[in-house]
A and B are shown apart, each in its own frame.
Chain A
Amino acid sequence: MLATSFSIVTLTTTNFSVESISSLSHHVKLQSTVSFATARWTEKQQQQQHRHVSDLSLHQMASCTTLYEILGIRVTASDEEIKAAYRRLARVYHPDVAPAERKESFTGEFMKIHTAYRTLSDPEKRANYDRSLIRRHQKPLTMSSSSLWGFSGYTSHKWKTDQCW
């Protein structure tokens, strides 16, 4: 990771020194390249930052996480914010982009993320969920029979999460 960042910086520097001899239009192109490289680095930084968040959220999974918390958004989030959150998380957890060694656990996470997204992006389902969220604070949880199954081939956290719904 660090080496990659270093390589990017090096390439940028090299590019700059070469282009400094060139015309103004080349300078504009250089700016574009630098800007792009910066964007890429920022994106990686975001992903790295998000990995910390994901570790925290994995911990939260064991304590009756709400759908809003799964997506990392506020209860008052707008439709656009919900969509943006879903896409951001999909880019991290979808099995097509997950690191090979964590593909299985990330697949389970992605399914939870998608379920949360599907519920919260449907106005009617969201309203029903919000009402049940209010009621949840008023009475203890009950365990459904289907949660007895260890059908998951995924993380043990899955078991605990099942008890929350």
Chain B
Amino acid sequence: MVEPAYTVTSDSETTGEEKSSTFPEIAIGIDIGTSQCSVAVWNGSQVELLKNTRNQKIMKSYVTFKDNIPSGGVSSQLSHEDEMLSGATIFNMKRLIGRVDTDPVVHACKNLPFLVQTLDIGVRPFIAALVNNMWRSTTPEEVLAIFLVELRAMAEAQLKRRIRNVVLTVPVSFSRFQLTRIERACAMAGLHVLRLMPEPTAVALLYGQQQQQTSHENMGSGTEKIALIFSMGAGYCDVAVTATAGGVSQIKALAGSTIGGEDLLQNMMHHLLPNSENLFKNHGVKEIKQMGLLRVATQDAIRQLSSQTIVQVDVDLGDGLKICKAVNREEFEEVNRKVFEKCESLIIQCLQDAKVEVEEVNDVIIVGGCSYIPRVKNLVTNVCKGKELYKGMNPLEAAVCGAAVEGAIASGVNDPFGNLDLLTIQATPLAIGIRADGNKFVPVIPRDTTMPARKELVFTTTHDNQTEALILVYEGEGEKAEENHLLGYFKIMGIPAAPKGVPEINVCMDIDAANVLRVLAGVVMPGSRQPAIPVMEVRMPTVDDGHGWCAEALNRTYGATLDLVTLQKKA
């Protein structure tokens, strides 16, 4: 297949033009995982993973603030893994970005060597690195930006051209607010985000390309194939169900949760040293070292349990604190039973949302670092009635390869052999709605709605002569409003005075092709053909920090005075 292309190109009189059109400014694909990252690019005929100066395709996701000059896991190499846990190094930034200090995920990060402080009032947490015996503050966005700068430099060195456009993979469970923080970090690194792709959607695109190539080779008719994609890394677990035929992949459902290898690790650390939270809470130099030693030992044990059924843990934490314990696989699985049960429920939920029976699934794809854990493989296989796992993908590279393919497509690359003749019809991972009917979350755009999308619901007033309404926009799956992410708010004013329940307040939500969310709201009185006041259009999210604090303040200030209820349709 490659030879004819070469022959044609070299013989063609339009060689120059062909080359210039074949290689426009292509967006690169980036997969920054919670613990590992990689970069890939479409090289004209296939996806190529880029390597750093140490010939590594997969690099660790961290930034060290040693000697006042921050350096990331892309270009530098810590002399010992212990140094990564000295307090000077910040990792897990993907787990921290865009979260408030009441979030349990943030609290779990307080067990890490670098400093995470919370006031528990719904604002961003305080994060600092230990540099020359001084805690120096930073933010997850800044850490991520420093890391991205290094990735960019690596990519530019290897491709020998400037890199500006990127496609990044993101967890399914990321809120729109978190997506804005990712984009902010990219902007700080001089990168323009063409697209943010949920990780299993990127894998679905790669799968679609593979099916397309198979179809070409077989001159097949493009029969529809349904794939279940399970992705579990250090920080997140994501599931997707996709239907693929003729190069068109339709995402039928997505499900995601903030559970991953990091949770397995923390649970095991607590199992090995039950009193660790109390022992380490002072965050002194000695405690940091002890945390680091315990973390490394536990990581090693978990890794070995993927290929052995029993492993010996021997670690001296100092101060007479020693751990000498044999741990077997069953023990590891029991300690993490809830994590694995959550994974299983995500798969079941995703299949149900997609209205797909297990028997209808053609391929089961499992990717991510945790895909090497026997229990993870077993639970996916069990849910899928013992169906054999798809073997056509490298679990650690699939997402970044999909992002690179998307980068090429979004950049307008034209492949003469049709390898980029693909379309992914994406879906919203989370429901979007407003607070109404008391304190309920009323979805306007349900979960798994195909994008682009526009939906509307009609609401009405809750008080006689109510002339204003507060529109609070949330994203998530919780039944109560505050169980979800507050995206933004605005007030409708000038509602004509009337008995409660009479005005019709139409709330429309629109997600455009670029995944931009706009909320529109208007008022009409029954029998009238004209809107009562000018329609309001607000782009979301509007809250740029402290959304937990903000939601609480709004509730305290306004209570239920400006509430709405869903208007019941008259038969």
Cross-chain contact A151 with B456 (CB below 8 angstroms): yes
Cross-chain contact A146 with B506 (CB below 8 angstroms): yes
- Interface residue? B55 (CB, 8 A): no
Q: Measured between alpha carbons, how far is A111 from B454 in the docked complex, in Å?
A: 8
Q: Measured between alpha carbons, how far is A33 from B409 in the docked complex, in Å?
A: 23
Of the listed stretches B8-16, B27-35, B92-100, B256-264, chain A binds B8-16
Chain A positions 19 through 61: 1 when the CB is less than 8 Å from some CB of chain B, otherwise 0: 0000000000100010010001000000000000000000000
- Interface residue? A95 (CB, 8 A): yes
Cross-chain contact B456 with A146 (CB below 8 angstroms): yes
Closest 7 CB pairs of A and B: A95-B513, A87-B248, A151-B508, A114-B450, A107-B452, A151-B520, A33-B4
Taking A11-B8, A149-B456, A149-B506 as known contacts, 4 extra A-B pairs with beta carbons closer than 8 A to each other, sorted by chain A number, are A18-B7, A87-B246, A95-B512, A153-B510
Cross-chain contact B524 with A148 (CB below 8 angstroms): yes
Contact partner of B425 among A94, A103, A107, A146, CB < 8 A? A94
Contacts of B409 in A (CB 8 A): 96
Chain A positions 89 through 109: 1 when the CB is less than 8 Å from some CB of chain B, otherwise 0: 011001111000001000100
State whether A83 and B224 are in contact (beta carbons under 8 Å apart), knowing that A96-B424, A151-B520, A151-B535 are contacts in the complex: yes
Give the interface of B toward A (CB within 8 A): 3-4, 7-8, 11-12, 14, 216, 224, 245-248, 250, 409-410, 417-418, 423-425, 450, 452-454, 456, 458, 504, 506, 508, 510, 512-513, 520, 522, 524, 526, 529-531, 535
Residue of A nearest to B452 (CB): A107
Residue of B nearest to A97 (CB): B423
**Residue of A90, A96, A110, A149 contacting most chain B CB atoms (<10 Å):** A96
Cross-chain contact B452 with A111 (CB below 8 angstroms): yes
Contacts of B245 in A (CB 8 A): 83, 87
Cross-chain contact A15 with B423 (CB below 8 angstroms): no
State whether A110 and B7 are in contact (beta carbons under 8 Å apart), knowing that A149-B535, A153-B510 are contacts in the complex: no
Cross-chain contact A15 with B246 (CB below 8 angstroms): no
Residue of A nearest to B409 (CB): A96
Q: How far apart are A127's CB and chain B's nearest CB, in angstroms? A: 16
10 pairs, CB–CB < 8 Å, chain A vs chain B: A18-B11, A29-B3, A29-B4, A90-B423, A95-B513, A111-B454, A114-B425, A118-B450, A145-B526, A149-B524
Q: How far apart are B148's CB and chain A's nearest CB, in angstroms? A: 25
Residue of B nearest to A154 (CB): B454
Contact partner of A90 among B14, B425, B513, CB < 8 A? B425
Chain A positions 116 through 151: 1 when the CB is less than 8 Å from some CB of chain B, otherwise 0: 001000000000000000000000000001101111
Q: Secondary structure of the A side of the interface?
A: helix
Q: Measured between alpha carbons, how far is A29 from B1 in the docked complex, in Å?
A: 9
Q: How far apart are B529's CB and chain A's nearest CB, in angstroms? A: 6
Give the interface of A toward B (CB within 8 A): 7, 11, 14-15, 18, 29, 33, 36, 40, 83, 87, 90-91, 94-97, 103, 107, 110-111, 114, 118, 145-146, 148-153
Residue of A nearest to B244 (CB): A87
Residue of A nearest to B504 (CB): A145
State whether A94 and B535 are in contact (beta carbons under 8 Å apart), knowing that A87-B248, A110-B452 are contacts in the complex: no
Cross-chain contact B535 with A95 (CB below 8 angstroms): no
Contacts of B510 in A (CB 8 A): 151, 153
Cross-chain contact B417 with A7 (CB below 8 angstroms): no
Residue of A nearest to B450 (CB): A114
Q: How far apart are A113's CB and chain B's nearest CB, in angstroms? A: 10
Contacts of B417 in A (CB 8 A): 36
Contacts of B425 in A (CB 8 A): 90, 94, 114
Contacts of B522 in A (CB 8 A): 149, 151
Cross-chain contact A145 with B423 (CB below 8 angstroms): no
Cross-chain contact A107 with B512 (CB below 8 angstroms): yes
Contacts of A97 in B (CB 8 A): 423
Contacts of B14 in A (CB 8 A): 7
Q: How far apart are A118's CB and chain B's nearest CB, in angstroms? A: 8
Contacts of A145 in B (CB 8 A): 458, 504, 524, 526
Contacts of B530 in A (CB 8 A): 148
Residue of A nearest to B507 (CB): A151
Q: Measured between alpha carbons, how far is A18 from B3 in the docked complex, in Å?
A: 13
State whether A14 and B454 are in contact (beta carbons under 8 Å apart), knowing that A94-B425, A96-B424, A145-B526 are contacts in the complex: no
Contacts of B524 in A (CB 8 A): 145, 148-149
Cross-chain contact A96 with B423 (CB below 8 angstroms): yes
Cross-chain contact B508 with A148 (CB below 8 angstroms): no
Q: How far apart are A76's CB and chain B's nearest CB, in angstroms? A: 20
Residue of B nearest to A91 (CB): B423
Q: Measured between alpha carbons, how far is A114 from B428 in the docked complex, in Å?
A: 14
Q: How far apart are B98's CB and chain A's nearest CB, in angstroms? A: 26
Contacts of A83 in B (CB 8 A): 224, 245
Q: Measured between alpha carbons, how far is A97 from B409 in the docked complex, in Å?
A: 9
Contacts of A151 in B (CB 8 A): 454, 456, 506, 508, 510, 520, 522, 535
Residue of B nearest to A152 (CB): B454
Cross-chain contact B424 with A149 (CB below 8 angstroms): no
Contacts of B418 in A (CB 8 A): 36, 40
Q: Measured between alpha carbons, how far is A74 from B522 in the docked complex, in Å?
A: 38
Contacts of A33 in B (CB 8 A): 4
Q: Measured between alpha carbons, how far is A14 from B535 in the docked complex, in Å?
A: 61
Q: How far apart are A57's CB and chain B's nearest CB, in angstroms? A: 19
